[in-house]
Amino acid sequence: MRKDHCGKGIKIQFWQDRWLGDTQLRYQFPLIYKLTTTKMKRVSDLGHSSNKNVTWNLRLRRYFNDTEAIELEGLMVRLSNVVFEEGANYLSWDGEKGGQFTVKSMFKRLQEVERSPT
């Protein structure tokens, strides 16, 4: 699978791009996505780094209910592991140790999928 590495988050859309996990955050946290006023903002617009700690301002349109609070807590746990890195955003392939895509690694991944029970 392809992974985005956010660098400083300047070119990655917070909710729209797949940069934290296997799917976009809008699908991982749909209740919070509905509440936010920042649907088209970049990671760098919502996260601010100081001494390798990142604080997040998601700008919710209203106070959240109990169900939304649980989802928000899950999102904040995921975001607590984010560290902004020097350098540009880049993509890597998790089918190979070095992150470089190869046809061989794709073939191996496809064989694993074929063997897995459904």
Which pLDDT score, from 0 to 100, does residue 2 have? Answer: 47
Whole-number pLDDT of residue 31 = 97
Instruction: Give residue 38's pLDDT.
Output: 94
b/e map 15-41, b = 16+ CB within 10 Å: bebbbbeeebbbebbeebbebbebeeb
Q: Mean pLDDT by 10-residue block, N- to C-terminus, for the chain (118 residues)? A: 62 90 93 96 90 87 95 93 68 65 76 72
| Total count of domains within the chain | 1
- Please give the radius of gyration of the chain, using alpha carbons only, rounded to the nearest integer: 17
What residues make up the domain containing 40? Answer: 2-115
pLDDT at 46: 94
- pTM, two decimal places: 0.68
